[in-house]
Amino acid sequence: MSARTRQPASVSAAGLAPGVRVTRSRRSAIWSGLGAIAVIAVLAYLPYRVYSGTTSLLVNFFILLILASMWNLLAGYTGLVSVGQQAFFGFGSYFVLIGALHGVDPFVGLPIAVVGCAALGLVVWWLLSRLRSGYFAIATWVVASVCYLIIIRYPSLGGGTGEFMPGLPNINIKYLDAYIYWTTLAVTAITLVCVYLVLRSRLGLELTAVRDDETGARSVGVRVGRAQLLVFVIAAAGCGAAGALEVISAPYLQPGPAFSVQWSAEMIFAVLIGGIGTIEGPIIGTIVFFALQQWLAHYGTWYFIVLGLIAISVAIWAPRGIWGLISDRLKLFPVGYWLWPAGQRLGPPEAAVAGEDAEQVT
Amino acid sequence: MIWVNDIVQGVLLGGLYALFACGLSLMFGVMKVINLAHGDLAVVAAYLAAGLVTVLHMPTALSILVSIPLFAIIGYVLWRTVLQASLNRSVLTTLLVTFGMSIVIENALQQFFSANSRSLSIGALATDHFNVGSQITVGYLDLAILIAAVVVLLGLQLFLSRTRQGRLIRAVADDREAAQLAGADYRHIFGIAAAIAFGTVAVAGTAYGVYTTFDPTTGTTQLLLLFAFEAVVIGGLGSLWGTLVGGILLGVVQDIGAQISTADLLLAGQLFFLLVLVIRPQGITGSRRTA
């Protein structure tokens, strides 16, 4: 763990052979960062150029991207397989609805829902923290079912049939759609930046250690329980944000779809196909998901069956997903450390991309 | 006396849950694999029974003579092809793969059979009942399902304790490497256990189809998997009779919850399960060691 020294650019790592250097943030990261900013700028400009049908589709895309990133953080880095994240997704929607029924602007309700879901995440973690693997998976599902059963007891929230959310600004639908789109884009960007920063932080290092070997991580002093708690709460908050965005973009809220296990299926499929345990995987997986959905749109739910079969095959025969197949060559958002042999000058990015002269430690 | 009747109804309902839980319990006990597609496979079994009744004009009760062996074959093949490969990766992979299977099955059923709900008819038996005293009503169908659960559990118990294959299954479950050294092919043995588990799913699915209506999403919306798992955990892992006790306890708690208000039937069961999970994760009959 000598690489824990926290200096930004490069440090001569204590405990290594003299002259050996450890660096982070390859110059390629700067280019990826600039590229990401460019992509966000282009996406932000879209409402001026395209019909709102396209931006609505992108809103759904971003919501799934947030969910997939959160599930990936949870399962990919802590090994906690949850099939009950729809509990937080649904409650994210319902927190916004409850606020709106009491006169709180839905856009203000969004951050409230995020905080509320983080608190709910704390409670759920307290209940489930002792459980592992299959027990944990099914218990999260049970929690989601309990959330649903509690919500339908309240007729004021529409009971089992659903409720229309009031309070969206009374403006031209074109502007409203654009505002919703920009909000979703902003939340997505914040989520991805958060995931990146978390994984680059000490917590991220601990998580990566836990992902690779939980017992080994424990033995070198990683507080596994604390790391898992933090990630579970972050994932709960993120899924809550996604739920809040969902109800804002489609303001008729029904408890059945909101707490449906279908959401878990979508995020799991996207992450598995894209590549679990990487930041880039969920992005690629979500793109594949939507591409297939659009392509097979005329054949009912066949796209979902195909996605499921691909996800199953990937999980068994290519567990690193699509991104795993390309990432040996390229890393967009590096969170690891590079070990440079003595006397090696820091070369230009392209010289080191192949990772032949520097050993990468992720 | 009305409370006695509630408990009797709960016990009868618990028979259905226990029947569902048999296969899950067996696969969990032997392979340490939780089959998240369990509930949806039961729905497939119900559709298969409906198909056999319509196409071959079989009585519903006899259709299981065809569907059990068919499901056993499916179970064996599925284990040897997909499930063993995912278990070789990790236990987490088996969760992801069986969850994916569950969703794929559900959507495929929807594509082929539409979202309409169906039921299996079994004639007068579905509604006939007899009375014990003045307050207690026992439906023949409910009683038949409970008896089926007991028969399946008893059969499993005898199979595991008395037959050569059963002993092999227990040996592989206890210590895979040692059994392997003694010449047992664990993949084949696991396949047989999966075949048996799938066979019980065929019985459970048919019983469910007779008991109430079903549609392609019943597996997840009616929480079949969750009830089965809850019966296994409440009863205590690795004990087949514990599974029966767990199913019955779940049924009784649900029925008592339903007395508070009908909407609380499910909520009472789920909260009871979470309570057991937090307070006594090894289950009612389990020892500390298995937790």
Cα(A311)–Cα(A322) distance, integer angstroms: 11
- Nearest chain A residue to B89, by CA: A316
A248 in Cβ contact with A180 (< 8 Å) = yes
Instruction: With H, G, I as helix, E, B as strand and everything else as coil, classify residue A218.
Output: helix
The average confidence (pLDDT) of chain B is 87
Tokens describing residue A106 = 């839905």
Mean pLDDT of B143-151: 91
Q: Which member of B85, B220, B274 has the closest CB to residue A127?
A: B274
Contact assignment for B92 to A150 by CB distance below 8 Å: no
Cα(B62)–Cα(B46) distance, integer angstroms: 13
Cα(A80)–Cα(B240) distance, integer angstroms: 28
Q: What is the dihedral angle through the alpha carbons of B241, A142, A321, A285, rounded to the nearest 10 degrees?
A: 150
Work out the pLDDT band at A15, boundaries 50, 70, 90: low
Give the model's pLDDT for residue A17. 63
B211 in Cβ contact with B188 (< 8 Å) = no
Work out the pLDDT band at A259, boundaries 50, 70, 90: very high
Render chain B in DSSP notation, one character per residue: -HHHHHHHHHHHHHHHHHHHHHHHHHHHHHH----TTHHHHHHHHHHHHHHHHHHH---HHHHHHHHHHHHHHHHHHHIIIIIHHHHHH-HHHHHHHHHHHHHHHHHHHHHHH-S--B----GGGGT-EEEETTTEEEEHHHHHHHHHHHHHHHHHHHHHHHSHHHHHHHHHHH-HHHHHHTT--HHHHHHHHHHHHHHHHHHHHHHHHHHS-B-TTHHHHTTHHHHHHHHHHHH-TT-HHHHHHHHHHHHHHHHHHHHH-TTHHHHHHHHHHHHHHHH-TT-SS--GGG-
Instruction: With H, G, I as helix, E, B as strand and everything else as coil, classify residue A85.
Output: coil
Instruction: Say which residues have a Cβ less than 8 Å from residue A119's Cβ, sequence separation at least 6.
Output: none
Cα(B275)–Cα(A128) distance, integer angstroms: 11
Using a 10 angstrom Cβ sphere, with 0-12 exposed, 13-18 middle and 19 or more buried, the burial of residue A33 is middle
Give the model's pLDDT for residue A159. 80
B95: contact with A, CB 8 A cutoff: yes
Asked if pLDDT for residue A6 goes beyond 70, the answer is: no
Contact assignment for B220 to A261 by CB distance below 8 Å: yes
Give the model's pLDDT for residue A356. 40
Asked if pLDDT for residue A359 goes beyond 50, the answer is: no
Give the model's pLDDT for residue B241. 84
Instruction: Give B-chain residues touching A268 at CB under 8 angstroms.
Output: 96, 99-100
B86 in Cβ contact with B97 (< 8 Å) = yes
Contact assignment for A138 to B34 by CB distance below 8 Å: yes
pLDDT digits (tens, 9 = 90+) for B174-207: 888 888 888 888 889 999 999 999 999 999 999 9
- Nearest chain B residue to A132, by CA: B92
Between chain A and chain B, how many beta carbons pairs sit less than 8 Å apart? 120
Instruction: Say which DSSP state A22 is in.
Output: E
- Nearest chain B residue to A305, by CA: B104
pLDDT digits (tens, 9 = 90+) for A262-274: 999 999 999 999 9
Cα(B95)–Cα(A83) distance, integer angstroms: 10
Give the model's pLDDT for residue B43. 94
Q: Domain map of chain B by residue range?
A: 2-290
**Whole-angstrom Cα Rg for chain A:** 21
Asked if pLDDT for residue B139 goes beyond 60, the answer is: yes
Cα(B127)–Cα(B82) distance, integer angstroms: 41
Q: Which member of B89, B110, B223 has the closest CB to residue A301?
A: B110
Min distance B31 CA to chain A CA atoms (Å): 12
B226: contact with A, CB 8 A cutoff: yes
Mean pLDDT of A285-310: 90
Give the model's pLDDT for residue A235. 96
Strands A163-164 and A21-23: unpaired
CATH architecture of the domain B2-290 equals Orthogonal Bundle (1.10)
Instruction: With H, G, I as helix, E, B as strand and everything else as coil, classify residue A11.
Output: strand
Work out the pLDDT band at A5, boundaries 50, 70, 90: very low
Mean pLDDT of A42-56: 85
Task: Name the range with the highest mean pLDDT among A206-215, A230-239, B237-246.
Answer: A230-239
Work out the pLDDT band at B4, boundaries 50, 70, 90: confident
What percentage of chain A carries pLDDT values higher than 70? 83
Q: What is the dihedral angle through the alpha carbons of A287, A289, A294, A295, rounded to the nearest 10 degrees?
A: 100
Asked if pLDDT for residue A354 goes beyond 50, the answer is: no
The average confidence (pLDDT) of chain A is 84
Give the model's pLDDT for residue A164. 87
Contact assignment for B233 to A135 by CB distance below 8 Å: yes
User: Which has the closest alpha carbon to B173: B195, B192, B149?
Assistant: B192
Asked if pLDDT for residue A80 goes beyond 60, the answer is: yes
Give the model's pLDDT for residue A234. 95
Give the model's pLDDT for residue A2. 40
Tokens describing residue A120 = 């709910």
Using a 10 angstrom Cβ sphere, with 0-12 exposed, 13-18 middle and 19 or more buried, the burial of residue A361 is exposed
Contact assignment for B107 to A304 by CB distance below 8 Å: yes
Cα(A208)–Cα(A229) distance, integer angstroms: 15
Asked if pLDDT for residue A3 goes beyond 70, the answer is: no
- Mutation target among A261, A268, A314 for the B interface, most CBs of B within 10 A: A261
Give the model's pLDDT for residue B151. 93
Work out the pLDDT band at A347, boundaries 50, 70, 90: very low
Min distance A188 CA to chain B CA atoms (Å): 25
Render B66-124 in DSSP notation, one character per residue: HHHHHHHHHHHHHIIIIIHHHHHH-HHHHHHHHHHHHHHHHHHHHHHH-S--B----GG
B270 in Cβ contact with A149 (< 8 Å) = yes
Asked if pLDDT for residue B233 goes beyond 50, the answer is: yes
Strands B136-139 and B129-132: antiparallel
